[in-house]
Amino acid sequence: MHLLKHIAFTGAFALCATSALAQDVTLRFQHFVSPASANPTYFMQPWADAIAEQSDGRIKVELYPFMQLGGAASDQYDLIRDGAIDGGWIIPGYQPNRFPEAEALELPFMTTKKGEESSAAAWDFTQEFLMDDFADVHVIAVHMHGPGIVHKRGDAVGTVEDFAGLKLRGPSRAATLLLEKLGATPIGMPVPQFPEALSKGVVDGGVITWEMSPSLKLNELTDSHTDVAGDRALYNLYFVWAMNKDVYNRLPDDLRAIIDANSGKMAAMWAGRAHDTGDVVGRDLMYDDGNEIAVMSEAETDRIKALGDSVTSEWIAEMDAKGYDGAALVAAAQKAVQANIGVAQ
């Protein structure tokens, strides 16, 4: 549907929703990955199904993968804010420097390797620091993924020196800063561009989750997959599941309550748990296809942590220069993570 026509459609729907309590509502939510990947499979679709069931079919949530309604993955926040789509999945890090406080959760070794725990922490941190940043949309949930893995052609990385000269895809500013410290050449790109960049040799590999590996065909496009030692993630990525504020506000009270019942920390943990589930599936597929599965030694991981600490120190200084209290943000993120260890089902 043409963008302007869809905006008109959305506005017309919103008016209808206020005029009759029995009015059926269709919400068009968009994301940028395969419907077979973990979050759509284990969170988005079950979430949509729960909304339909609890509303006795009065709300239907349609999910559109691969940005089928238009725009780029980096446009998602604006598409939702402006009403071009009713809702969807946002990665704030795809717009560097726009939501700087959220980067505290993405710093090296900040989160655990359990997406559900990290997502609970992300919700708490968001409530304290980020709701003003996202005031133009209605936030349903925020979440993190599980461990970020180094996927590459050729042998697995085993030492810091192995990163030298590698062209590696990074998803966020924090991740690319760490890759740079490691001696790699970081290339920032949204996930949809990663497979083509690999196949054309634009990158040697990149960092992304286990759960995304099957839908990106990393079993075919890469040879090795490397995690760091310990229970902390090399990096993480912060996501927002949100809807247009006017569309939400114009829902009848009883339908809005159904959205609310499937929002908040519960939904954040649900979304994080989806990644945990998908990580097991993705890792098993890479292993079954004969790819090399590696874990760096504790000694080499400690070397990377030291480089990660320097990324964090520089980030704090940068945030201070922008008028934020960088150290307080880092401390608050660490506190939120620590408080939610063990909450995973």
pLDDT category at 5 given cuts 50, 70, 90 is: very low
Same domain, 36 and 179: no
Mean pLDDT along residues 250-264: 97
Q: What is the pLDDT of residue 344?
A: 84
Q: Tell me what the mean pLDDT of segment 174-181 comes to.
A: 96
Say which DSSP state 288 is in.
H
Contact between 83 and 227 under an 8 Å Cβ cutoff? The reply is: no
229 and 244 co-located in one domain: no
pLDDT score recorded for residue 14:
45
* Residue 210's CATH number: 3.40.190.170
Q: pLDDT class for 3, splitting at 50, 70, 90?
A: very low
Q: What is the mean pLDDT of residues 64-87?
A: 97
Residues 75 and 192 grouped into a single domain: no
pLDDT, residue 19, reads 38
Has residue 345 been placed in a domain?
A: no
Say if residue 292's pLDDT is above 60: yes
Q: Are residues 33 and 124 located together in one domain of the fold? A: yes
- Are both 11 and 102 inside the same structural domain? yes
Alpha helices in 262-322 (DSSP H): 265-288, 298-321
Residues 92 and 79 in one domain: yes
Q: Which residues contact 153 (CB under 8 A, 6 or more apart)?
A: 198, 204, 205, 221, 222, 223, 224
301 occurs within a structural domain: yes
Which distant-in-sequence residues (6+ apart) come within 8 Å of 237 by Cβ? 91, 93, 106, 144, 145, 148, 171, 172, 175
Residue 12 belongs to some domain of the structure: yes
**Tens-place pLDDT, residues 188-203:** 989 999 999 999 999 9
- CA gyration radius, the chain: 20
pLDDT reading at 23 higher than 80: no
Q: Does the pLDDT at position 332 exceed 60?
A: yes
Query: 307: domain range?
Result: 148-235+283-339
Looking at the structure, do residues 207 and 303 belong to the same domain, yes or no? yes
Is residue 78 scored above 50 in pLDDT?
A: yes
| Residue 331, pLDDT above cutoff 60 | yes
* Structure tokens belonging to residue 325: 């209290």
Residue with the larger pLDDT of the pair 226 and 2? 226
**Per-residue pLDDT averaged across 170-195, rounded?**
95
What does the alpha-carbon distance between residue 13 and residue 24 come to, in Å, rounded to a whole number? 9
Average confidence (pLDDT) over 169-181: 95
Which pLDDT tens digit goes with each residue over 121-156?
999 999 999 999 999 999 999 999 999 999 999 999
Identify the residue with better confidence: 13 or 34.
Answer: 34
pLDDT tops 50 at residue 296 = yes
- The pTM of the whole model exceeds 0.85: yes
With vertex at residue 294, the alpha carbon angle to CA 289 and CA 297, rounded to the nearest 5 degrees, is: 175
Reading phi first (left if > 0) and then psi (alpha if -120 to 50, else beta), residue 197 is in alpha
Residue 277 clears pLDDT 80, i.e. is over it: yes
Note the pLDDT of residue 8.
42
Asked if 239 contacts 139 with a C-beta cutoff of 8 angstroms, the reply is no
| 326/215 same-domain check | yes
223 and 304 co-located in one domain: yes
Structure tokens given for 319: 């945030």
Percent of residues, the chain, with pLDDT higher than 70:
93
Kindly report the average pLDDT of the chain as a whole number: 94
Say how many domains are in the chain: 2
Q: Do 265 and 302 fall into the same domain?
A: no
Dist. CA 203–CA 221, nearest whole Å:
11
Does 155 lie in the same domain as 26? Answer: no
Is 344 inside a domain boundary? no
Identify whether 129 is part of a domain. Answer: yes
